[in-house]
């Protein structure tokens, strides 16, 4: 990805949120209005930034991941091979052991969490 583009579509007075949509040079179109809009709260996220140009860069940084998701969704919608595989699953039932699905050897439970000793009086 070389470029990111965003459009501020609205401003909400109550929450001080902006509604923004993003596109990139890798999405199907470079028109941000063609993509889902997201509410962002840059005043809360970046309270120390008073320069609007710097704030716009921070908003664009957040859009990199969102534009990437849009690109991947477009690729998935165009993947007819995967769509056929998903269609072949219709009517089937699947079962897995949870232990086979967890990415760690240690399951964290409330019982295994660190217990903080009471404060001395």
pLDDT at site 113: 55
Residue of 4, 40, 1 lying closest to 23 (CA atoms): 4
Q: Write the Ramachandran bin of 65: left for phi over 0, alpha for psi from -120 to 50, otherwise beta.
A: alpha
Q: What are the residue boundaries of the structural domains of the chain, listed by start?
A: 4-85
Q: What would the pLDDT profile of 36-89 be if each residue is shown by its tens digit? A: 999 999 999 999 999 999 999 999 999 999 999 999 999 999 999 999 999 999
Q: Residues 6 or more apart from 34 whose CB is under 8 A from it?
A: 21, 23, 27, 28
């Amino acid at each position: 990805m070389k470029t990111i583009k965003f459009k501020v579509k609205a401003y909400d007075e109550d929450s001080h949120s902006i509604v923004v949509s993003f596109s990139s040079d890798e999405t199907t179109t470079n028109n941000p209005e063609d993509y889902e809009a997201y509410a962002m709260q840059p005043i809360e996220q970046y309270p120390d930034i008073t320069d609007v140009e710097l704030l716009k860069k921070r908003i664009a940084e957040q859009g990199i991941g969102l534009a990437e998701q849009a690109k991947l969704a477009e690729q998935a919608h165009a993947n007819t091979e995967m769509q056929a595989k998903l269609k072949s699953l219709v009517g089937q039932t699947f079962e897995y052991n949870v232990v086979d699905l967890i990415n760690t050897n240690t399951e964290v439970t409330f019982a295994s969490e660190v217990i903080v000793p009471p404060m001395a009086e």
